Amino acid sequence: MTTAALDGSALAHRALVTAMLYGLGPPARTSAIAWAPPSELATVRAADVIVTVDGPELDVEAFTAAREAASPDGVVTVVVASKAALGLVSAASPAQNAEDAYARARAWGALAANGPRAPAVAPARLRDLAAAASGAGLVLVEPEVPRVRVQPRHAVDRAILATIALGGTARPLLFVREGRAPRGGLARLRDERILDGWIEGRGLRASAPSLLGAALDTLAEAGVPVAGKQLLREARMRWTEAARAAGIRATSSAGDVGLLAKALRVLWLDGAIEVYARDPVAPLVAT
């Protein structure tokens, strides 16, 4: 995959959303964003979030240039992918029956094919990137890995599991200055932060009535990204009205926020929806 074939704005959106969910960097809506391939990082000037992808030029010197261009509490982001995930997306076709693992994988590929893509990396290369960043005074920050019972102790091991083992077509690796990094490089991911952004559906609908199902129906009918808080309001209204019409007692509660946010984050990780930290009407960066 060549740098010219990449959608820098889409990758920047993905990076900014990840920073928002991790609670890193300045507020997403006011952050200054810069996108550059590894060979051009030295040309980047002041920015809060610097976005690049993997490449042979991404070494200690390139990371140092990015760190110097980033604001004191800024984030340097390298977007990567797993080779297996890219191959599955390229070969995917919609699966009508998701009763076995292969059918579910094909269904995932069909949904994720609409999302951004980045160059594929091997586990050894991820370790090299973390080491090069460390040499430039930057620390890799990673949350706990979803669906993994025994969590790796080191951030780079969590990154390998989340990117390679679980599959990712455009997964941002976030690096911050040593003095700004959380202990052990462990990001505290909060599901509720996803509702601070905009959510876009990909035609997915829930099979059973629920708050999430109401949200997916809202997205499908909108056909455009919907602000997270607006989506919560409309999903609550749609769900309670449908439940009462069916004679089911249903009321809104503060717990709705966490339930819907967690479900949306899982769908985002699975490539079934897209999330933006800013209104995606205008490109986030020039490409």
Position 1 scores a pLDDT of 56
Mean pLDDT of the 138-160 span: 88
Q: What's the pLDDT at 268? A: 87
pLDDT value of position 168:
80
User: Could you tell me what percent of the chain has a pLDDT over 70?
Assistant: 87
Assign 166 a pLDDT band (cuts: 50, 70, 90).
Answer: confident
- Looking at residue 92, its pLDDT comes to 54
pLDDT at 253: 81
pTM over 0.95? The answer is no
- What letter does residue 117 receive in the DSSP assignment? -
How many angstroms separate the Cα of 200 from the Cα of each of 116, 191, 192, 219? 14, 17, 16, 6
**pLDDT, tens digit (0-9, with 9 covering 90-100), for 167-197:** 788 899 999 999 899 998 999 889 999 999 9
pLDDT number for residue 31: 87
Q: Other C-beta atoms within 10 Å of 125: how many?
A: 15
Model confidence pLDDT, tens digit, residues 101-134? 666 666 666 666 677 888 889 999 999 999 999 9
Residue 41: name the closest of 5, 77, 73 by CA. Answer: 77
Burial class (CB in 10 A: 0-12, 13-18, 19+), 2: exposed
Give the pLDDT band of residue 88 (cuts 50, 70, 90). low
**Per-residue pLDDT averaged across 201-223, rounded?**
86
User: Which tens digits make up the pLDDT trace of 51-76?
Assistant: 999 999 999 999 999 999 999 999 99
Q: Does 267 have pLDDT greater than 60?
A: yes
The C-alpha atoms of residue 215 and residue 233 are separated, in whole angstroms, by 9
Q: Delineate the domains of the chain, giving CATH numbers in brackets.
A: 3-185 (3.40.50), 191-276 (no CATH)
What percentage of the chain has pLDDT greater than the value 90? 50
Q: What is the pLDDT of residue 4?
A: 54
SS3 of 226, please? strand
Given a cut of 80, whether residue 151 has pLDDT beyond it is yes
What's residue 178's pLDDT?
A: 93
Q: What pLDDT, in 10s, does the model give residues 2-23?
A: 565 678 888 999 999 999 999 9
- For the stretch 236-256, pLDDT in tens is 999 888 878 777 777 778 788
**How buried is residue 257: exposed, middle or buried, by Cβ count under 10 Å (0-12/13-18/19+)?**
middle
CA distances (Å), 98 to each of 62, 155, 209, in order? 44, 33, 20
